[in-house]
Structure 1
Amino acid sequence: MTIAFLGSTGRVGLELASFLTEAGQPFKALVRSPEKLQAIGNTEIIEGNARNAEDVERTIAGCKTIISCLNTDGNDTLSVSMEIILDAARKHGIERMITVGTAGILQSRNDPSLYRFQSNESKQRSTRAAEEHAKVYEMLRESDLNWTIACPTYLPDGKLTGIYRSEENVLPDGGTSISVQDTAHFVFHEWQNPKHTKKRVGLAY
């Protein structure tokens, strides 16, 4: 079962690529800069852009699952690419997708009618990135996919511990950070053993 992997050269993406490679899991990675990802084992590298429908189609064809660690790129890449990805997923009969979002699109504990980025729980001055992630969440919510969005809070480089908290739709109470490595660990294990379909999952220590 081959995975279509977008965003594999980002911080979480590179860690996740290592997990998949070590597990012997075949994946097709769509990348703009092939030199950033080493082709090992069953890895197929496709040079292209997630904003290009033909490139996304080539990546998704023949796969059963999509994993996306795409970031906002400071523009509308997330929402533009998600429309393309969803179209390709429908065409190829893909049912499962796991993405990495942000804790800003979880619900506020103090006011569940708001996203965290809309509430005083968020410490971010700019909401631009969270707004892009929210668009993606809303697209997935309206789709037929069995999706999961991993939503880490502050995301420093650190160590793989495998010990962290997760909670559906809200951030674990008092959580302030989780490492890039442990975020990738969550995505890998959610792919192996789906527990949170059609849910956002807050991640923190």
Structure 2
Amino acid sequence: MKITVFGATGGVGGHVVRQALDAGHQVTAVVRDAARFDLEHPSLAVRTVPDLAALTELDPCDAVLSGVGPRGRKEGLVATTATRGILRAMAAAGVRRIVVVSAAPVGPPPEDETFLNRRLLLPVVGAVLRDVYADLTAMEEELRSSGVEWTAVRPPKLTDKPVTGEYRRVIGGSPRGGYSISRADTAHAVLAALDDPATIRRAVGVAY
């Protein structure tokens, strides 16, 4: 499959690129600064796009994967504006499938979530990172109104542990008591959703 990966220099996006190549896909990695991306592979092309909000075209591909998101609380609507540009370019190219990385607090907690998580941990995290989650919420709204075949993968706290392929996944919700997942396993979940029709137009919660 031909895949275009946005946010390829990010923590999750970099793993997406490497895992996609290992799986035999042809990958176009879209980056803002090519100097920050040093991976080379026969099935990899690198495209520099400084401003995704101004994106108008895609390289030929079957699907888009995006790890674009804010790196801090005060960056503004980074994911939202980038996704608008990506969706515009997808429409022009006739590409229908997109999987993005969002975050667990964008959705409601599980109905059987622990009291500690529901009443203390989740509200505190949501308050501290309010601007980040507002951006990701708006990004998901853009996807829902676009008509494309989207999936939003929602991880909790991200770590730098290696890929295991062993994590819990809940389509349309979040795993109970899900505190963390590695960036590598989040990338694994993004690629797993790509060919899973059950995830189309759904959010997917992932966690250990």
Which residue of structure 1 lines up, in the alignment, with residue 65 of structure 2? 67
User: Compared with structure 1, are the counterparts of its residues 178 and 80 closer, same or farther at alpha carbon in structure 2 (3 Å cutoff)?
Assistant: same
TM-score for the superposition, normalised by structure 1? 0.87
SS at match of 1:40: coil
Matches within 5 A, 1:16-55: 16-37=16-37, 38-53=39-54
* 8 A Cα contact 1:100 1:151, kept in partner: yes
179, 184, 199: which one pairs with 1:181?
184
Identity %: 26
SS at match of 2:56: helix
Measure the CA separation in 2 of the matches of 1:36 and 1:50: 16
2:163 is aligned with 1:164: no
Measure the CA separation in 1 of the matches of 2:103 and 2:51: 19
User: Compared with structure 1, are the counterparts of its residues 41 and 193 closer, same or farther at alpha carbon in structure 2 (3 Å cutoff)?
Assistant: farther
* 8 A Cα contact 1:10 1:70, kept in partner: yes
CA deviation profile, 1:146-201 (whole Å, cap 9, x unmatched) = 11011000111112221111112322111111111111111122224443110111
User: Compared with structure 1, are the counterparts of its residues 23 and 85 closer, same or farther at alpha carbon in structure 2 (3 Å cutoff)?
Assistant: same
Q: Which runs of 5+ in 1 are unaligned?
A: 111-115
Which residue of structure 2 lines up, in the alignment, with residue 113 of structure 1? none
User: Compared with structure 1, are the counterparts of its residues 52 and 105 closer, same or farther at alpha carbon in structure 2 (3 Å cutoff)?
Assistant: closer
2:137 is aligned with 1:141: no
Cα deviation, residue 5, structure 1: 1.0
* 8 A Cα contact 2:13 2:67, kept in partner: yes
Which residue of structure 2 lines up, in the alignment, with residue 104 of structure 1? 105
Measure the CA separation in 1 of the matches of 2:51 and 2:42: 23
Measure the CA separation in 2 of the matches of 1:134 and 1:104: 9
Counterpart residue identity of residue 84, structure 1: G
Cα deviation, residue 52, structure 1: 4.4
Q: Which runs of 5+ in 2 are unaligned?
A: 112-116
Which residue of structure 2 lines up, in the alignment, with residue 12 of structure 1? 12
Measure the CA separation in 1 of the matches of 2:94 and 2:13: 24
Matches within 5 A, 1:70-149: 70-73=68-71, 74-109=75-110, 121-124=122-125, 125-149=128-152
Measure the CA separation in 2 of the matches of 1:149 and 1:52: 19
Measure the CA separation in 2 of the matches of 1:122 and 1:179: 22
Measure the CA separation in 2 of the matches of 1:50 and 1:82: 11
Measure the CA separation in 1 of the matches of 2:123 and 2:101: 18
More helix, by proportion? 2
Instruction: Say what the alpha-carbon RMSD is for the aligned residues.
Output: 2.2
Which residue of structure 2 lines up, in the alignment, with residue 201 of structure 1? 204
* 8 A Cα contact 1:70 1:100, kept in partner: yes
